[in-house]
Amino acid sequence: MKKLILTLIAALGIVSGAQAAEGGIAWDKAPNKTNDLASLQNGAKIFVNYCLSCHSAAFMRFNRLKDIGLTEQDIKDNLLFTTDKVGETMKASIDPKQAKEWFGANPPDLTVIARSRAGHGGTGADYLYTFLRTFYRDDTKATGWNNLAFPSVGMPHALWQMQGDRRPVFEEHESHGHKTQVFKGWQQVTPGTMSPLQFDQNVGDLVNYLQWMAEPAQNTRIRVGVWVLIFLGFFTVIAWRLNAAFWKDVK
């Protein structure tokens, strides 16, 4: 019995450690605008320009972007590299061998990242929205960057020129003889090309696109589901009245 209890305590410790590694701070709520075509189009542009160089989206084809209001010509003119074709999947331009040498592992495919990263802190979109906005300079890391939502991440800050350089501000708390660092906010070191509000809006657009890409039919599914529930409710009333009429003379 004692051995079982110790095993359970160890398992709980492993889970707690995994959760701490998954997110060092509380996740911010991501804007949910998967019906906003302008937001999705801007997110697709940011994804192609800043993410697709390292991360693939191997289960998404460029021509599927017509579902968010882009024409085939728009896709060819603004979102394709010279060697890509509109019917091809979104493949990263980086060499996998080089990526492994530079980052220690191949960058993950992002097709369904917004669904796979959901956890105790919120949805996958919440995680991505927090992760992309919490990078900071760290000269002790190989990439020169670290992240509060994913400590010791091997990925550099791809959007740093937009956001500029920031450093996290911590406050030391002491409890029961143990000192802990509590995150209090950010201090802007050098400005980026965007204001903090503009940067958050653009990251929100990128996360919206990633959320849409993870399930392009989600809005159609929800819309059809609402009509199905309305039909079932209406049919239930009709069936109930028919049943009452059929059995009214039966005693």
Q: What domains are there in the chain, each with its CATH number?
A: 23-237 (1.10.760.10)
Question: Pick from 164, 119, 154: which is nearest to 27 by CA?
Answer: 119
| Integer Cα distance of 120 and 16 in angstroms | 11
Could you tell me if 134 and 28 are in contact, meaning their C-beta atoms sit under 8 angstroms apart? no
Give pLDDT, residue 150: 93
> Digits of tens for pLDDT over the chain (251 positions)?
434 333 333 333 333 333 333 446 899 999 989 999 999 999 999 999 999 988 999 999 999 999 999 999 999 988 987 677 889 999 888 887 777 777 777 889 999 999 999 888 899 999 999 999 999 999 999 889 999 999 989 899 999 999 999 999 988 877 777 878 788 889 999 999 999 999 999 999 999 999 999 999 888 888 899 999 999 999 999 999 998 888 887 76
- Alpha helices by DSSP H, 62-142: 72-78, 96-103, 113-116, 124-131
Question: Pick from 124, 137, 196, 155: which is nearest to 53 by CA?
Answer: 155
pTM of the full structure: 0.80
| Integer Cα distance of 72 and 79 in angstroms | 10
76-88: b (≥16 Cβ within 10 Å) or e: eeebeeeebebee
Known binding positions: 51, 54-55
Known binding positions for heme c: 51, 54-55
Give pLDDT, residue 82: 66
Give pLDDT, residue 24: 61
Q: How many CA atoms lie within 13 A of 78 on its CB side?
A: 15
What does the DSSP assignment read for 178-231? EEEEEEEEEEEEEE-SS-HHHHHHHHHHHHHHHHHHH-TTHHHHHHHHHHHHHH
Beta-ladder partners of 122: 119
Question: Pick from 44, 30, 221, 39: which is nearest to 118 by CA?
Answer: 30
Q: Which residue type is seen at 216? A: P
Could you tell me if 94 and 107 are in contact, meaning their C-beta atoms sit under 8 angstroms apart? yes
Give pLDDT, residue 132: 97
